[in-house]
Amino acid sequence: MSDLVRQAVDKLRSEGLRVTEQRRAILKALSQSESPKSADETHAALPVDTCDPVTAYRCLEQFEKAGVVERGVRENGTKVYCLGHGHGHHHHLTCRQCGRTERIDLCMGEEMEKVAEGFGFTEVSHVMEVFGVCPSCG
Amino acid sequence: MSDLVRQAVDKLRSEGLRVTEQRRAILKALSQSESPKSADETHAALPVDTCDPVTAYRCLEQFEKAGVVERGVRENGTKVYCLGHGHGHHHHLTCRQCGRTERIDLCMGEEMEKVAEGFGFTEVSHVMEVFGVCPSCG
DNA sequence: ATGAGTGCAAATAGTTTGCAAGCTG
DNA sequence: CAGCTTGCAAACTATTTGCACTCAT
């Protein structure tokens, strides 16, 4: 089990969530994926009969609330998740054709939050995804 | 009919798209909305029997391709659209509770595109939405 | 007239919910 | 052993598609 998974498992415990075989498997699958995955894709990446697809949905939702995974959105609205890569917040650049994903460390989070606070908003979060056509597909 | 709508209609024509009563109504509804609307919400904002919900979906999709409207995503993945407000690209700050929306002019589009081009990507676009709890709901 | 646009019905995709049974802490 | 979790079935929401008909150009 990778450090990433171990770390995630610890966080789950510290958040009062239980650690099951299914959850371990889901975290492992995410840790081995270079690009963010949807709940269904995550489930598909699991060994057969690891768990029901619904469980993947429920777990990922829990994980996000617990801050164990980060959530993004595809261009079509599909929700995707990824482990924090152990290095906090970041974004992705995704190829529209082949789905290839690159990590982008650029983020205007602080600026955004300042603006949002200026409007009196609290509990600010944001979703950002960049799309394009990669060299191989262009 | 507002300038915004007139402008949009012209753009439709120049893009080779046809201008129908339904499309005019959809553009008018969007022009009168302060916040981005989903296809269904846009349809709901139309006078009864203006058109079928499906038409709203299809038109908004066309409008986006033609560059007449801008598309965003809600936190839950729902696609939303808005007229360019006549002032190009911008983003929104949306209240999770009441849906109230503020416009944000801050955008790191150029930086994003530079990074994306660095990866060899083309036809770069991005989706970004900021969410929080507004003063009234906090 | 001719092809873009529309309505209606039906199919999809992604995700959520209810409830009884199972397993973790 | 209490309650979080899971599985299975079913409901739901947002969106898309097929096809015949209509209308803008």
List pLDDT tens digits, range A38-67.
Answer: 999 999 999 999 999 999 999 999 999 999
B62 Cβ nearer than 7 Å to chain D strand: no
For residue A129, what pLDDT is reported? 83
Q: Tell if the CB–CB gap between A121 and B132 is shorter than 8 Å.
A: yes
Mean pLDDT of B15-39: 95
Task: Note the pLDDT of residue A88.
Answer: 66
Give how far A17 is from chain B: nearest CA, Å: 23
Place of tokens 């939405």: B129
Return the closest-CA partner of residue A64 out of A94, A100, A39, A29. Answer: A39
* CA gap B121, B113 in Å, rounded: 9
Our CA angle for B18, B21, B25, nearest 5°, is 110
Nearest CA in chain A to B95: A121
Q: Is there a contact between A104 and B120 if contact means CB atoms under 8 Å apart?
A: no
A106-121 tens-digit pLDDT: 887 788 888 999 999 9
Among left, alpha and beta (phi > 0; psi -120 to 50; other), residue A17 is beta
Judge whether A115 is closer than 8 Å to chain B, CB to CB: yes
* A131 with B125: Cβ contact below 8 A: yes
Least confident window among B25-29, B42-46, B105-109, B110-114 = B105-109
Q: Which nucleotide is nearest to B15 (CA to C1')?
A: C4
Average pLDDT of every residue of chain A: 90
**Surface of A (55-114) touching B: CB under 8 A:** 73, 75-79, 93, 95-96, 102, 104, 106, 108, 111-112
pLDDT of residue B13: 96
Nucleotide D22, nearest residue via CA and C1'? B20
User: For strand D, is any atom closer than 7 Å to the CB of B21?
Assistant: yes
Please, where in chain B does CATH 3.30.1490.190 lie?
89-138
From CA A82, how far away is CA A71, in angstroms rounded?
7
How far is residue B129's CA from residue B117's CA, in Å, rounded to a whole number? 22
Residues B132, A112: C-beta atoms closer than 8 Å: no
Decide if pLDDT at A17 tops 80.
Answer: yes
The per-residue pLDDT for range B50-97, each reduced to its tens digit, is 999 999 999 999 999 999 999 989 988 999 999 975 556 788 898 887
**How buried is residue B125: exposed, middle or buried, by Cβ count under 10 Å (0-12/13-18/19+)?**
middle
Helices (H) and strands (E) in chain A, counts: 5, 5
In B, minimum Cα distance to A100 occurs at B121
* Contact (CB, 8 A) for A132 and A100: no
Fold classified for A89-138 = Dna Ligase; domain 1 (3.30.1490)
Residues of A in contact with B57 (CB under 8 A): none
Q: Are B30 and B83 in contact (CB under 8 A)?
A: yes
Provide, as residue numbers in chain B, all residues whose Cβ is less than 8 Å from the Cβ of A79. 76-77
Tell me, which fold does domain B1-88 have in CATH? Arc Repressor Mutant, subunit A (1.10.10)
The answer to whether A78 contacts B77, with C-beta atoms less than 8 Å apart, is yes
Block residue for tokens 């983020």: A107
* B51 CA, C9 C1': Å apart: 16
The answer, for A118 touching chain B at a CB cutoff of 8 Å, is no
- The model's pTM: 0.89
- Residues spanned by CATH 1.10.10.10 within chain B? 1-88
What percentage of chain A exceeds 90 in pLDDT?
57
Predicted confidence (pLDDT) per residue in B12-23, tens digit: 999 999 999 999
Greater model confidence, A30 or A88: A30
Question: What single DSSP character describes residue B137?
Answer: T
pLDDT one-digit tens code per residue, A63-108? 999 999 999 889 888 999 999 755 567 888 988 878 788 888 888 7
